[in-house]
Amino acid sequence: MPGGPFAFTFDPAGRLALVTAALTPASTFGTFTINAHGTLTTVGAPVSNGQIAACWVAAARGFYYLANTGSGTISQYSINSSGTVTLVNPTAAAGIDGATDMTVAGGGAFLYDQAGLGSSVEAYSVGSGGSLTLIQSQPVPDGGSQEGIAAT
């Protein structure tokens, strides 16, 4: 399956930061400007993470995290001031049974990933350099096919 646009956010400069989900080749993350007439222009060429089926993106502490459902991982990226995308860590977290949706809380100090196949929510602290440390795995009763997550 070739990749297709899936999730997006915006970087501090207002550029579209887009996840392309793919089974093969691997998923990518890139930046684009949105032109006045609605078309996109590539700024930071999409960068592969070597992972399968990226599903969601969340920003925390200046980094961007992609939940890779097919690989059961979270990848970490950065975007510099000119819009160039860099893969920081292809497996910032691993062993997540169906990493799906993500959200952040505490001003970006915490990242929560919904492990849809594992019926749980994984809570991570986000270090100053963007590293993820698992602090809790909370079972969700009857959460085998959960989708969507929010935090404040």
Domain segments of the chain: what residues? Answer: 4-139
CB 40 within 8 A of CB 16: yes
**Alpha carbon distance 71, 100 (integer Å):** 11
* Angle in degrees, CA 149, 6, 69, rounded to 5: 60
Assign a CATH topology to domain 4-139: Methylamine Dehydrogenase; Chain H (2.130.10)
CB 67 within 8 A of CB 100: yes
pLDDT (tens, 9 = 90+) of the chain, 152 residues, equals 456 888 999 999 999 999 998 877 789 999 999 999 999 999 999 999 999 999 899 999 999 999 999 999 999 999 999 999 999 999 999 999 888 889 999 999 999 998 877 788 999 999 989 999 999 999 887 766 666 776 76
Computed from CA positions of residues 42, 21, 107, 125, in that sequence, does the dihedral angle turn out positive or negative?
Answer: negative
* Residues pairing with 78 in the sheet: 86
